Chain A
Amino acid sequence: MSLKYRIAIIVALIIASAGALFPRRVAKSGGQPGAIVRDSGYRFPLRKGLDLQGGMHLALEVDDSKAANITNKSEAIDRALKVVRSRVDQFGVSEPVVQKAGNDRIIVELPGIDEQQRAMDIVQKSAFLQFLITDKSNALERALPRLDAAAKSVAIAAPTGKTAQPQADTTKNALQGLFGTDTSKKTAKPDTATAGGAAKKTADSGKAADTTVPPTTNGPFTKLLQRGEMPGEYFVAQEDIPTLQHYLSDSSVMSAIPPGKSVLWSADSSVFNGHVFRSIYVVDSRPIITGEYLTDARPESSPTEGTVVTFQLNNEGGRRFRNETAKHIKDFMAIVLDGRVMGRPPVIQSAIGTRGQITMGNRDLQAAQDLALVLRAGALPVPLKVAEVRNIGPSLGSDSVHKSIHAGLLAIALVVLIMLVYYRFSGFLAVCGMVLYMLFTLAALAGFDAVLTLPGLAGFVLSIGIAVDANVLIFERIREELDRGKSARLAIDEGFRHALPAIIDSNVSTALTAAVLYQFGTGPVRGFAVTLLAGIAASMITAIFVVRTFYMIWLSRSTEQQTLSI
């Protein structure tokens, strides 16, 4: 290959590399959380991993404890992936990653996120919306004797259970409190729920609760309940909640519940006259409609009802909703999200069309935004749980970048010093090659759209020290050939030729190791493997081709015998 072509190739490589490293336009989903604003900005093409820019990494799995039997996990994960992706896309972080890992896991990466809990809620929330009619046939009351009997057997079944059970319960509670789940939120007034404009606010239920006479018998189940104002509504005092939860988790109690009916907890507690209550609702198990017909949901804040989420159904959903609600005029409709009744069920005044709203009680606008977001994205087809979470603060990330740059500069300085002192002019050529090596490696990483991680950066710094190995091998060979009395030109030719097999063998074996690492590593280690691979390719190109060309340029200056400084 003539010198001209060689130089042309090198120049082309440099231009291509510089082009690959030129700032790129990237799509961002925009600033305001919850809002769908598409924006774009420019950034350096090398994407920083979460360990360098801060953010959150989540691995999600199907929650087997909540999903009884999922026959095809991989397929279920595929469906869940779509929902999670659409939620994350709307969440408002730039360049999130949502992908399937293996057969049964979803990886979510949210760069720059600092609110751990909120991010996890948005990704994990099932968001299964149902509209259920509260029971008006007093089915629960009629079933109370059986429920009491069942509850009694639960309480008596294990006298040790009396000692062990409360203990288990308290530890469970302690754990729950500890883990910050759902300690009942005290709201000042009962939540009211309205569905569309057709619903009317029910009368203040505080009085109703107080005036209601407790049901007749004094069975263990019955005594926990106070009848509410609307059909199917019962209040449970704060201190009785764990006991009732315990009863309701028992299969014999559950089987005593009238068929076709479900017992659901309300999402929030209420305070009447200084007593904290939570409601349970007995509802028809069959929903009149579910959230699958929902086309849009938006957070709104109204002066009278606080924060609400308004939603819109598609035409088919609207038709069904209208038909069903028309059959249930004067009935109460519970809006149920993930098995919890949101607000107090409103009464249906007339058939409801395509619009409706969910009241959020006293929760803030962000909660409404998040709920609207998950409703828009749709319900998760399977319940998910977090299998792994890594969260790195942005300050720690930028600190790591600075430290790596310092280490890199020191490494470069030391290597340049060693090469210049030992090989003089040839060392200078090797250093020029090293500069191109770094350019090519970074460009290759940008080309693969690789993610730069902290181990990756460390690998890059390390590779600067190892990349000159090929040069060293060649230079030592050239020296040997010169020792044998060959001319500079011949020695260079022979040196490159003889060093080649060793260079290829050693690089290929390292590349194989890196490939294995890539295959089996996750996140940061993958970044390391990619850097290693890109480095090997770049180092071979620079040492074998570029530095050779430098020599050829040097030799071409004159046809006379020259003394090589090596």
Chain B
Amino acid sequence: MLRIFHDTKYDFIRWWKVAVGLTVAFLVIGLGSFAIKPINYSIEFTGGTLKQLQFTTPPDVSQIRQALDAAGFRESEIQQYGSNKEFTLRVHDAASTAAQASGAERVSVAVDSALIKKFGANDIKVVRTEAVGPRVGSELRGNALLAILISFVVTLIYLAIRFEWRFGLAAVIATGHDIFTTLAFLKVMHLEVSLTVVAALLTVLGYSLNDTIIIFDRVRENLRKGRKEPLYDVLNRSINETLPRSILTHATATAATLALLLFAGEVIRPFAWVMLFGIVTGTFSSIYIAGPVLLWIERKYPRATAWKSSSTATATSQTRPSPTTATR
């Protein structure tokens, strides 16, 4: 059989200081830039108007700008979207958004007529409009934050039931790490935070937690075997034992994500980017954050009894064949 990373004996936990250093550096760069420029929320969250335009011939961007200026939307953003015949417009300055409070369609209608006046109805097509009133926007923002918090609490409760609290806390800290690094990634990549990106963020959260659970499940099992082994070694052994699974699962997940990134188009691209980064950071945190944190919690709050559990440990023979790395 074809085997990769079989029966490895890497000392993963030893690198925790490096891991923490890397994380901190990344967070400082990513989150530090929040001080310079706030997060790039999408129209859904800020309120405002987004339009996707299709031109029959590549237009002069300055002409689009002129048309919008004439209509009084000086602070609008114009962006090329895919080909040079497609553009997106975003109007979300304070005054325009406030004007949408009495009817979300107002700015949209005004922009349409200004553009058609400039380019003619035959040469320009509005293929997508999103107009969101300010109240809806702020509500959505609240809901998204609430969704992230609640899913956090819910998984914490589940972990507390299935594992004991030390594991649960370590897993949640690792997941928190993923959220912050992903936020930093969003910032570094200048990705727009939309509802879809929040969905991706929550998927990353689930995926990373999944990964941590697989390793912790192995730790739990190895502890039940009741060997006299320090937790440090148990952690390392568990990570090594689950390594082939991790590699393979990440490979298939990455394959699917790459397919999305390359083929699924502009709308899905931010989602795919977040997912791709999430796979990396999720794997990283499961190994280098969750393990060391568990170790640290254990040192700080050691349990009264030894690492022996009275559960039905499988007492199978522990003889292991010598490592084979080739196919058979």
Residues of A within 8 A of B (CB): 51, 59, 61, 63, 65, 116-117, 120, 174-175, 178-180, 385-393, 395-396, 399-400, 403-404, 406-408, 410-411, 414-415, 418-419, 421-424, 454-455, 457-459, 461-466, 468-469, 472-473, 476, 479-480, 483-485, 498, 501-502, 505-510, 512-517, 519-522, 524-525, 528-529, 532, 565-566
Contacts and interface: CB of A to CB of B under 8 A. Distances in A.
A158 B285 CA distance: 67
B179 interface: no
Q: Which 5 A-B pairs have the closest CB atoms?
A: A465-B256, A414-B255, A520-B147, A393-B127, A407-B263
B113 interface: yes
A505 B160 CA distance: 12
Given A418-B248, A512-B151, A389 B128 contact: no
Contact of A180 (B110, B127, B147, B264): B110
Given A389-B105, A462-B256, A465-B254, A509 B158 contact: yes
Given A393-B127, A466-B207, A473-B214, A454 B267 contact: yes
A415 B258 CA distance: 11
B209 A473 contact: no
A247 to B, nearest CB: 22
A403 B158 contact: no
A75 B258 CA distance: 49
A422 B4 CA distance: 9
A387 B130 CA distance: 11
A462 B275 contact: yes
A180 B317 contact: no
B7 to A, nearest CB: 8
A387 B133 contact: yes
A86 B217 CA distance: 55
Interface string B81-107: 000000000000000000100111110
Contact of B214 (A51, A506, A516): A506
Interface in B126-156: 126-133, 135-136, 140, 143-144, 146-147, 150-151, 154-155
Given A120-B105, A502-B217, A509-B159, A461 B199 contact: no
B151 A386 contact: no
A116 B198 CA distance: 28
Contact of B260 (A389, A396, A461, A479): A461
A458 B268 contact: yes
A484 B320 contact: yes
Contacts, number: 255
B244 interface: yes
Contacts of A403: 263-265, 268
6 contacts: A404-B264, A410-B259, A415-B255, A419-B252, A476-B242, A510-B206
B40 interface: no
A505 B162 contact: yes
A514 B207 CA distance: 11
Contacts of B4: 422
Contacts of A180: 109-110, 113
Nearest to B171: A509
Nearest to B109: A180
Contact of A390 (B130, B146, B248): B130
A406 B132 CA distance: 31
Dominant secondary structure at the A interface: helix
Q: Most A CB atoms within 10 A — which of B1, B105, B214?
A: B105
Given A400-B265, A414-B255, A479-B244, 20 more contacts: A51-B267, A178-B72, A388-B132, A388-B136, A389-B131, A396-B52, A404-B264, A410-B263, A415-B256, A455-B196, A461-B256, A462-B203, A462-B253, A466-B207, A466-B253, A466-B256, A483-B320, A485-B319, A506-B209, A520-B143
A410 B263 CA distance: 9
B252 A468 contact: yes
Nearest to B316: A484
Contact of B129 (A116, A524, A566): A116
Contacts of B132: 387-388
Contacts of A466: 207, 249, 252-253, 256
Interface of B: 1-4, 52, 71-72, 99, 102-106, 108-110, 113, 125-133, 135-136, 140, 143-144, 146-147, 150-151, 154-155, 158-159, 162, 195-196, 198-199, 202-203, 205-207, 209-210, 213-214, 217-218, 221, 241-242, 244-245, 248-249, 251-260, 262-265, 267-268, 271-272, 275, 314, 316-317, 319-321
Nearest to B154: A512
Nearest to A410: B259
B226 to A, nearest CB: 17
B261 to A, nearest CB: 8
Nearest to B47: A388
A415 B252 contact: yes
Contacts of A387: 104, 132-133, 135-136
B109 A117 contact: yes
Contacts of A116: 105, 108, 129
B195 A516 contact: no
Contact of A516 (B151, B260, B271): B151
A63 B253 CA distance: 47
A385 B132 CA distance: 12
B151 A390 contact: no
Given A408-B259, A419-B252, A520-B144, A458 B206 contact: no
B207 A178 contact: no
Contacts of B127: 392-393, 395-396
Nearest to B52: A396
Given A117-B109, A389-B129, A455-B199, A418 B213 contact: no
Contacts of A469: 210, 249, 252-253
A99 to B, nearest CB: 16
A484 to B, nearest CB: 7
Nearest to B249: A469
Contacts of B108: 116, 389
Given A59-B136, A65-B102, A411-B260, A506 B213 contact: yes
B85 to A, nearest CB: 13
Nearest to B215: A502
B223 to A, nearest CB: 14
Contacts of A419: 252
Contacts of A480: 241
B155 A509 contact: yes
A505 B213 contact: yes
A393 B125 contact: yes
Given A400-B265, A458-B260, A485-B321, A476 B244 contact: yes
Contacts of A414: 252, 255-256, 258-259
B195 to A, nearest CB: 5
Contacts of B104: 59, 385-389
A464 B264 CA distance: 15
Q: Most B CB atoms within 10 A — which of A411, A513, A525?
A: A513
A487 B3 CA distance: 19
A78 to B, nearest CB: 20
Nearest to B2: A422
A180 B128 CA distance: 20
Given A116-B105, A396-B128, A421 B2 contact: yes
Nearest to B196: A455
A414 B81 CA distance: 28
A89 B20 CA distance: 59
A459 to B, nearest CB: 7
A510 B207 contact: yes
Contacts of B254: 465
A494 B267 CA distance: 44
A175 B217 CA distance: 63
B150 to A, nearest CB: 5
B159 A179 contact: no
Nearest to B324: A483
Contact of A388 (B128, B133, B320): B133
A390 B260 CA distance: 24
A386 to B, nearest CB: 5
Contacts of B109: 117, 179-180
A469 to B, nearest CB: 5
